[in-house]
């Protein structure tokens, strides 16, 4: 089930985003999807962002998950430099609870899409699941693993509240 070359690139603006973005990493791992995780800051390492976004497709990356907080330009700038689907995760900021991150990521101009997820952990998990859904369109084995993951989730919901 394990894959080798990364198909999903998980990038984040800072190590401080890892506590959120590790949930994308863990979900991709649970689904057996080869991926890589990198710190790439739109503001502090613009050259690294350029290199990452412009070479991702050629390296075999098929979906990019980008998480950032505050003035969260990473997903949009990545999307501006690659035709790959980019899924944006707004990281919860201290000052504005992630509303700044959300609005920075979601309000893209027509022509450069970013699929924006929920703020925080739920967004990171769902970005990984959405990446899995995209890849599963052309990967029947992954589609089966995703179906099984969803079935386990459904079975794990208790009937009783306590």
Residue 17 touches ligand RP5, criterion: CB under 6 A: yes
**C-beta closer to ligand RP5: residue 6 or 70:** 70
Q: How far apart are CA 133 and CA 8, in angstroms?
A: 12
- The response to whether 14 counts as a known ligand-binding position is yes
Q: Give me the least distance between CB of 91 and ligand RP5, in Å please.
A: 4
Contacts of 133 (CB under 8 A, 6+ apart): 146
| x/- map, 49-88, ligand RP5, by CB under 6 A | -------------------xxx------------------
Burial of 37 (0-12, 13-18, 19+ CB in 10 A): middle
121-147 burial: b if 16+ Cβ within 10 Å, else e: bebbbbbbbbbbebbbeebeebeebbe
Q: How far apart are CA 48 and CA 11, in angstroms?
A: 11
Among 8, 9, 10, 13, binds ligand RP5 (CB under 6 A): 13
Residue 16 touches ligand RP5, criterion: CB under 6 A: yes
**C-beta closer to ligand RP5: residue 17 or 146:** 17
Q: How far apart are CA 117 and CA 139, in angstroms?
A: 23
Stretch that binds ligand RP5, among 14-22, 80-88, 106-114, 153-161 (CB under 6 A): 14-22
- The response to whether 17 counts as a known ligand-binding position is yes
Binding site for ligand RP5 (CB under 6 A): 13-14, 16-17, 41, 43, 68-70, 91
Binding region for substrate: 14, 17, 44
């Amino acid at each position: 089930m394990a894959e080798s070359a990364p198909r999903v690139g998980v990038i984040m603006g800072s190590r401080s985003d890892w506590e959120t973005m590790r949930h994308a990493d863990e979900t991709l791992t649970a689904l057996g999807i080869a991926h890589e995780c990198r710190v790439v800051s739109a503001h502090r390492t613009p050259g690294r962002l350029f290199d990452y976004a412009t070479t991702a497709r050629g390296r075999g990356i098929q979906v990019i998950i980008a998480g950032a907080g505050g003035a969260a330009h990473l997903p949009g700038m990545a999307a501006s430099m690659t035709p790959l689907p980019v899924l944006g995760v707004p990281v919860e900021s201290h000052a504005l609870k992630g509303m700044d991150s959300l609005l920075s990521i979601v309000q893209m101009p027509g022509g450069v899409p970013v699929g924006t997820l929920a703020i925080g952990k739920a967004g990171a998990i769902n970005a990984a699941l959405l990446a899995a859904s995209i890849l599963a369109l052309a990967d029947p084995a992954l589609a089966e693993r995703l179906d099984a993951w969803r079935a386990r989730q459904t079975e794990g919901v208790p009937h009783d509240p306590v």
